[in-house]
Amino acid sequence: MDTISNISSLFQSGSNWNIILIIIAACSVLSITVFFERFFHLRNAEIDTNTFIIALRKAIQEGNIVEATQICEQTGGTIANIVKAGIARHNRGKEQIEGAMETAGLIEIAQLEKNAKILSVIAYIAPLIGLLGTVLGFIQAFAEMRMSGLVDISATRIGEAMEYALITTAAGLVVAIPSVIAYNYIVSRVDAFILEIQTTASEIVDLLVYRDEEYTY
């Protein structure tokens, strides 16, 4: 309880610790906001890939490109948007199909990765901001000792100054550690998405090319 009351008093004071803790708190709010925004975006981008591919395979093998396009539009999501771009070039050869899907993939992946770097930046700078608060705290404590002219300053006063100074470092770490975990979680989800995109795109390209060759003969 003492530590919590000390943190509360730091926010209420006009010291350097006040400014540092406000910055760290802002980083914390931003980190939480970005994580949940990315989490829900990735969840909304997911689809039942197996069901999607089965439906597409049936439509493509029957030569019903319009239906295949409609399936993509109705399904929505990252993978469906990429596949739709390839289907739109279904009669223009393998290279153009792959090129269209690759271009769409770059756009969709950029959307998946959007803002994720913010978590990485916060994880990096939050401890540094906390350390800055600690350094400023010790500077302030020693300045008070020098200005007071006291050689034998009380242990309580020194301990209080050190506690306040170290709180900023602890606060920075409290923000940084979850941010690192959140960033790596988002990155792992995006990597899994990219692998799924590559697998699905490859299968759809083969379906489209095989269909065109079949109809040529």
- pLDDT digit string, tens, across residues 52-65: 888 888 888 888 88
Give 90-116 pLDDT, tens digit per residue: 888 888 888 889 999 899 888 888 888
Question: Three-class SS of residue 206?
Answer: helix
Structural domain includes residue 29: yes
Structural domain includes residue 217: no
pLDDT above 90: percentage of residues in the chain: 24
In a shared domain, residues 182 and 135 = yes
Q: Cβ of 176: how many Cβ atoms within 10 Å?
A: 23
In a shared domain, residues 38 and 55 = no
In a shared domain, residues 38 and 59 = no
In a shared domain, residues 177 and 161 = yes
In a shared domain, residues 91 and 128 = no
Structural domain includes residue 154: yes
* Residue 90 C-alpha from the chain's centroid: 34
In a shared domain, residues 14 and 121 = yes
CA gap 204, 54 in Å, rounded: 11
Give 17-76 pLDDT, tens digit per residue: 678 888 999 999 999 999 999 999 988 888 888 888 888 888 888 888 888 888 888 888
Question: Three-class SS of residue 121?
Answer: helix
Range of the domain at 170: 2-43+116-193
Report how many domains make up the chain: 2
Residue count of the chain, please give it. Answer: 217
CA gap 200, 77 in Å, rounded: 13
**DSSP state letter for 23:** H
In a shared domain, residues 34 and 56 = no
> How many angstroms separate the Cα of 66 from the Cα of each of 53, 81, 84?
15, 15, 11
Average pLDDT for 190-213: 82
In a shared domain, residues 123 and 176 = yes
